[in-house]
Every structure is written in structure tokens, then in C-alpha cells.
Amino acid sequence: MTAPASDDPKTLVSTEWLDAHLKDPDLRIFDASWYLPDADRDARAEYEKGHIPGARFFDIDEISDQRSELPHMAPPVEKFMSRMRSMGVGDGHQVVVYDGSGIFSAARVWWLFRLMGQTNIAVLDGGLPKWLDDGFKVTANPPVIRDRHMTVTPQRHMVRDVTDVARAAKLGDHEVIDARAPARFRGDAPEPREGLRAGHIPGSKNVYYQDLLNEDGTMKPPNTLRTIFMDAGIDLQKPVITTCGSGVTAAILALALERIGKTDHSLYDGSWSEWGMYADLPIATGAP
């Protein structure tokens, strides 16, 4: 596995890279900000007040499978294609996605594009806070949008359901990595969603997503990321399934794995919102 360069339009780009390419005709930008209810922040209102020039707003709750009772599950292919067309994003475009936290929900949209077979997408390293700190401008002006066609080729191997994860946990042929905070992983802290048990998937290992990030919200360099995974006892020769509370921060783990050149990873979309709900699924508590 070889680590990519710092600016990689398929994984992560810097604010300087985005500023230099801002007027490229085939660049499309998404503000994919999303916050937990206790953050008391309105992502769409903040977008309308000020966003990176040309950015569209990507609502991960709306562009989801709303037939599911689970939060923001991956949408049907037809819905994804329809939403992208209406936002003027299509074949041949380079997409950059950011959020208002640094690197948080943007990684979820990066993973979703990859799930749909679109590889020309990168997360903005450090997100909107880094963009502003670096002195770059925002605007309240809406983008000019023209319909574009997108060809979607779903990569089914990039997503896992509860049956897949239960089998992997039993056989031990995958590394299941949980991005939640250590206290939630151990079962020492209650889950923020009502009705969920506390603990983790048996055999899974914990890499808190915040540990992959620097204080300024940027992602740590590949060599450091690799060390963090190895120090958590993860065998990087095995395929990986990432999980978290609701499939958002699990995508940060996926992005970090991609940054170190590991491509055989998938995401458990239901995550603990699903596993923690069902009494007949086993759980473990304490350290792995």
C-alpha cells in the first residue's frame, strides 16, 4: 500500500488547492454540514448565510433512504441520480465536499459518492473553519445550476448490512472498527439515541475518529494514521468494516483508510443505531 500525496482529488484536498481551482468549469462543491441535535446549529441556515463560492447544499437526511427507520441510510440509486442532476452535478465533474466542523459529515458524502461509483470526489481538509482561518472568502449568493447527467455504477461491496456484520464478527475474517468515543464503545456512557443498548459489536476495535484529526480539524498525515490503526491492534492485512453511531463518523475511518492506501474497506450503514436496537444481537462491554 502506498500513501497518496497531500492533495489528492480522490480523497483529500487543501484549502489552497480548492482556492486555486475555484473557477475550474468542471469543479462542483458541496456544503454537507450536519450536526447532532445537541449542537444547536442549523446547517442549512448557516449555508444560506455564507458558503464557499459555488457550493450547493447537500442534505444527508433528505438525500437518504427515507423508507428506513434508521437515520440517513444510503439512498436508492434513482434518488441519488435525481438529486445530483437537479444540483447540476454529473459525469466528468470534480467534486469537493466540506462541512462546518472540519472533517465530519463531509466524509459521509465522500463515501456515498464512492458507493455510487463516483471517484472524482475529495473532502476539503479542515472544512469551512480552515477555509475561513486561511483568509478565503464566502458568499451568500446561490450557485448557478444547470442539469447534468450522472452515470451511477453502485459499488455494493462498499456497504454492509447487519447480517454481513454479524457474520464477520462471528468468523473474525474482517476487522470491525468502531469510530465512537471510547466511553460509548466500552459501554460506560449512554447512547445519545433513546432506546439503544450500551457497548460494542463483539470483536470490534475502537479508533475514535477525533484521534485521526489535528486540532485545526485537518486529517493527520498517512504515516500517523497507519500508526494509529496499528496501535489499536488492527490487522491491516484483513478487510475492514467501519461502524459508528449512525454511519457518519464511520466514513471518516473509511477516508483515513483510503489515505493510507487501503482500499478493501466497507461501511456498516445501520451502525449502532441498528445493532444497539435489537436485543437478539450480542454486545460486548469494556475494552476490546
Residue 218 shares a structural domain with residue 131:
no
Residue 260 shares a structural domain with residue 131:
no
pLDDT in tens, 14-47: 999 999 999 999 999 999 999 987 789 999 999 9
How far apart, in whole angstroms, are the C-alpha atoms of residue 16 and residue 29?
Answer: 15
* Eight-class DSSP state of 47: H
The total number of structural domains that make up the chain = 2
Q: Which of 154, 177, 197 is the last residue in one of the domains? A: 154
pLDDT in tens, 274-284: 999 999 999 99
Residue 3 domain-assigned (yes or no): no
Average pLDDT, the chain: 95
3-state SS string for 167-193: HHHHHCCCEEEECCCHHHHHCCCCCCC
For position 53, which CATH number holds? 3.40.250.10
* 133 Cα distance to chain centroid: 23
Residue 21 shares a structural domain with residue 141:
yes
Residues 6+ apart with CB under 8 A from 159: 74, 115, 266, 267, 269
Catalytic residues: 244
pLDDT in tens, 64-119: 999 999 999 999 999 999 999 999 999 999 999 999 999 999 999 999 999 999 99
